[in-house]
Structure 1
Amino acid sequence: MSALAVYEWAESQCTEAFDWYMARRVWPSRVSKLLRVMTIALGVIGSGVPFFALASDSHISSDWGYLGLLVAAGCLLGDRAFGFSASWSRYVRTAISIESEIASARAELLSVLAANPLHKDRNGLIAQIAVTLIARTNEAVSHETAEWIEDFRGAQEELRGKAGTLGP
């Protein structure tokens, strides 16, 4: 197997990881945006209901505003508890990091290929580029996983703290 074939395999593995992160970010991003829009809309509606109830002769109770504010808070808490906003931004950061590593490896490979083609260490240099690319991509994925664990633990602690303050 040639050194270029090893590099191509390494780049394809890293491209697969990039594609996975880019595909994986879509749903958390959509859910996060939906929850944020609902938080804002319900917060505005919940805040406006008491004013509307006072200003009009309708039989709408201003207490309905509390329900809007409660559901708005629930949307925000749901986003925080399930980590939708945090997850899609982590995926994008990791994908950008992987993409940067691929671009850097391509540039390094081109410089090696553009150099003297009869250089005796050329295959060794190309193999080293492939090894470095895989190592840096694994590093980016490991960093994202560690961030996910930290976010998950933080959300658990936050929920425990909030649940403790709600009790009798």
Structure 2
Amino acid sequence: MSQPEMQPGGPAREERGEVPRGDLTGRPFPLGDWGEPAERLDELYRWVETAALRTVDWYLADRVWKRRTGRILRLGTALGTVAGATLPLLDLTGLVDGAAGWGYLSLLLGAAALACDRYFGVTSGWMRNMATAQAVQRRLQTLQFDWASESVREILGPAEGTASEAAERCLGVLRRFSEDVQELVRSETADWMRAFHGGLDALVLQSTPLPLAGGHARGAEPGFAGRSTLPPGTRPNMPRQRPPEPPR
């Protein structure tokens, strides 16, 4: 089993045309003849490495536009807050007449920028992408050192076990790495789904009518405050009354 190149993105990978580009769809599993186990294991290693680098590249590429958009939204929030606090003061001091209205508009725009950032998860999204890409890179480095250790063990001669056991051990290393990368992607996707549903839940709560002081919701008739609507043709259940006591 020859040891493959261990430097991701280096000249050897560029010559092979394996610079990772694309999405997370992956590539078909390489099938071939196992008459040469060393070549097959080397091909499987390159397939696993390329898939991991494609995953890292996808997250880093998706991070770019989210980071730029997040910075613009955070800058808009900061400018809107500062302008909303400064313009009314200038109006009170008489330096700028009618600036209070523009200050309220600036506060509204700053709040809208902050709401867009929170609802669409722009800032949190590029942070998750960066964390996932770094985690996959760290796991890839571990795989490279494990694979180098197996290659050195084969070159120096197996101290224990047969060739089939060595090949099975190498396949186990590749399989565990693939499962770890898939778990990292699954965890990031689950975090994104929780954040997305959290934004939807917050929007639903904001759109739900709140109860007023009279005990009824907005838009409801005051005379029916606190009463539940029954289906048509259903008689309300009257509470049981205590029978009158006999005269003494």
The normalised TM-score by structure 1 is 0.92
2:171 pairs with 84, 109, 127, which one? Answer: 127
1:12 aligns with 2:50: yes
- Counterpart residue identity of residue 187, structure 2: H
1:38 Cα deviation from its structure 2 partner: 0.7
Q: Give 5+ residue unaligned stretches, structure 2.
A: 1-38, 211-216, 219-248
| 2:59/2:132 contact within 8 Å kept | yes
Percent identity of paired positions between Structure 1 and Structure 2: 27
Distance 1:2 1:64, change over 3 A: same
Distance 1:147 1:57, change over 3 A: closer
| 1:11/1:130 contact within 8 Å kept | no
| 2:52/2:136 contact within 8 Å kept | yes
1:25-75 deviations in Å (ceiling 9; x for gaps): 111111111101110111000110011112234322412211111111111
What is the CA–CA distance in structure 1 between the aligned matches of 2:105 and 2:173, rounded to whole Å? 59
Q: Secondary structure at the match of 1:2?
A: helix
1:150 aligns with 2:194: yes
Greater per-residue helix proportion: 1
Q: Secondary structure at the match of 2:128?
A: helix
What is the CA–CA distance in structure 1 between the aligned matches of 2:178 and 2:125, rounded to whole Å? 23
What is the CA–CA distance in structure 1 between the aligned matches of 2:80 and 2:209, rounded to whole Å? 24
Q: Give 5+ residue unaligned stretches, structure 1.
A: none
1:62 pairs with 100, 110, 125, which one? Answer: 100
What is the CA–CA distance in structure 2 between the aligned matches of 1:137 and 1:55, rounded to whole Å? 61
Report 1:1-168 matches (<5 A).
1-117=39-155, 118-119=157-158, 120=163, 121-164=165-208, 168=218
Higher relative contact order (Cα pairs below 8 Å, separated by 6+ residues) = 1
RMSD of the TM alignment (CA)? 1.8
What is the CA–CA distance in structure 2 between the aligned matches of 1:58 and 1:41, rounded to whole Å? 18
What is the CA–CA distance in structure 2 between the aligned matches of 1:148 and 1:124, rounded to whole Å? 36
The normalised TM-score by structure 2 is 0.64
1:2 Cα deviation from its structure 2 partner: 1.7
Distance 1:76 1:165, change over 3 A: farther
1:126 Cα deviation from its structure 2 partner: 2.1
Where do 4+ consecutive residues of structure 1 move more than 6 Å? none
| 2:83/2:103 contact within 8 Å kept | yes
1:165 Cα deviation from its structure 2 partner: 6.4
Largest Rg, 1 or 2: 2
What is the CA–CA distance in structure 1 between the aligned matches of 2:82 and 2:106, rounded to whole Å? 8
Q: Secondary structure at the match of 2:109?
A: helix
Q: Secondary structure at the match of 1:59?
A: coil
